[in-house]
Amino acid sequence: MQADTAKPLETIKKRADFVRMNASCTKWVSHGLVLQVAPNDLGQCRVGYTVTKRVDKSAVKRNRIKRRLRAVAADILPLHAKESCDYVLIGRVLSATRPYETLQNDLKWCLEKTGYSK
């Protein structure tokens, strides 16, 4: 990754933004993750992460999945994502055990399928 050309990702933190994304977004499902994408008027790329208790009851395992999703997003989104869009990565059961390169490919594939890649 080219650190000098990539901007740091802004994080979505407000519940209202997640609810808006769920209601009016483009969604694509892969084996390792679910990607929701919606344009925003902020002029910057933002990303959020969600892993529900349905994926795993253990908070330790859910946090590990979120860490993996954050790492994948940090590697892929600055290079492949469009500006002025919100991205939400939703963890799945296979997010914890899938190889890291495969998770990266899943995110790239979801970006291409939703039409929000550069």
Q: What is the DSSP string of 8-36?
A: PPEEP--HHHHHHHHHS-EEEE-SSEEEE
- Distance (Å, whole) CA 112 – CA 37: 11
The pLDDT value given to residue 44: 85
Asked if the 10-113 domain carries CATH number 3.30.110.40, the reply is: no
Residue 28 confidence (pLDDT) above 70: yes
Residue matched to tokens 């344009």: 39
Q: Mean of the pLDDT values across residues 23-32?
A: 89
3-state SS class at 2? coil
The pLDDT value given to residue 20: 85
Sign of the alpha-carbon dihedral angle for 5, 46, 37, 69: positive
- The structural domains of the chain, with segments of one domain joined by +, span 10-113
How do residues 46-94 score in pLDDT, each as one tens digit?
Answer: 999 999 999 999 999 999 999 999 999 999 999 888 888 899 999 999 9
Long-range contacts of 22-25 (CB under 8 A, 24+ apart): 25/86, 25/88
- Distance (Å, whole) CA 113 – CA 37: 11
* Separation of first and last alpha carbons in the chain: 16
Residue 40 confidence (pLDDT) above 90: no
Residue 37 confidence (pLDDT) above 60: yes
